[in-house]
Chain A
């Protein structure tokens, strides 16, 4: 039970510092937000390495020759729409509707898996064409940056499956809902990092 303070003042005038402690849900979301920002700082190191090494091709193929923008646009679409469907999943969780939650989680999983499939296909095509990570500093930086993002997506998919298993077995317990909230934030963050990847890596190659 939260204590309602009768001060006789309009609600807007009550300072935030006098409204009592924030609910657990907010504290968890804030902590996870800090984790996501630290994850973005990790990516910033990889982005810096890529930006410095992008034109160090050691006589090997450069980005303009290797990248297929049509495929990248498709990957971007998959990830963007999965970010939207995970938002719909969040709304379904808010309504505590299991059917809608499963539906949007399944769509999100399918889009994420499609993104990952396209990325693995692209990696294999590049390695077949002699553009393996060992070929040049540019390719080492490329595979590290894009591969780390792909690894995050893979972990996200595994996390999504684990969360759906928890919804099946435990239902919408408060702790399950908080974990779902963290997963949703994580998935949105992956899409934000991808904006940086497609802008700097794929569209920046010219």
Chain B
């Protein structure tokens, strides 16, 4: 067995990504926790506050959520953009793409259908 404690500089002859999970210790998780707590509290504050222009609040909430998801992916999942993580990162990018397509696509289509739908009264009249 290759020594798993070796760092990347001695990666010769080692399978790719053997150091996954060896990176960072408790400090890594603590950093992630602190970032996540700050972002969570910021989200709950943003939802209640009057200091932020009303229509901008959903955008602020969305960006805080995306930031926190990023913090979780980096500090808890240890997914980076390094070459040893190429597969994981590509899969993540595809997942994000599908999620965005499903959520925003559904909202767009359903809003359009809703806007073009005759009101209930009109439907009742048509049935008579």
Contact = CB atoms under 8 A, between A and B. Distances in A.
Interface secondary structure of B, over-half rule: helix
Interface in B20-35: 20-22, 25-26, 29-30, 32-33
B16 A80 contact: no
A103 to B, nearest CB: 14
A19 B18 CA distance: 11
Given A37-B94, A83-B76, A206-B47, A47 B15 contact: no
Interface string A29-72: 11001100110110011011101100000000000000001000
Contacts of A3: 13
Contact of B72 (A88, A91, A191): A191
Contact of B103 (A14, A44, A185, A188): A44
Nearest to A22: B15
A99 interface: no
A202 to B, nearest CB: 8
Interface string B38-71: 0010011011100000000110011011001100
A21 B10 contact: no
A49 B40 contact: no
A188 B76 contact: yes
Interface residues of A, number: 58
B87 interface: yes
Contacts of B57: 206
Contacts of A195: 65, 68-69, 72
Given A48-B106, A196-B65, A41 B95 contact: yes
B120 to A, nearest CB: 12
B107 A11 contact: no
B17 A22 contact: yes
B44 A2 contact: no
A2 B14 CA distance: 7
A1 B44 CA distance: 52
Contact of B95 (A37, A47, A204): A37
B84 to A, nearest CB: 7
Contacts of A44: 98-99, 102-103
B14 A192 contact: no
B18 A80 contact: no
A173 interface: no
A19 B17 CA distance: 10
8 tightest A-B contacts by CB?
A: A37-B95, A48-B106, A4-B13, A11-B12, A203-B47, A199-B65, A87-B29, A44-B99
Given A5-B12, A81-B33, 7 more contacts: A11-B11, A16-B83, A22-B16, A26-B15, A41-B98, A44-B103, A83-B76
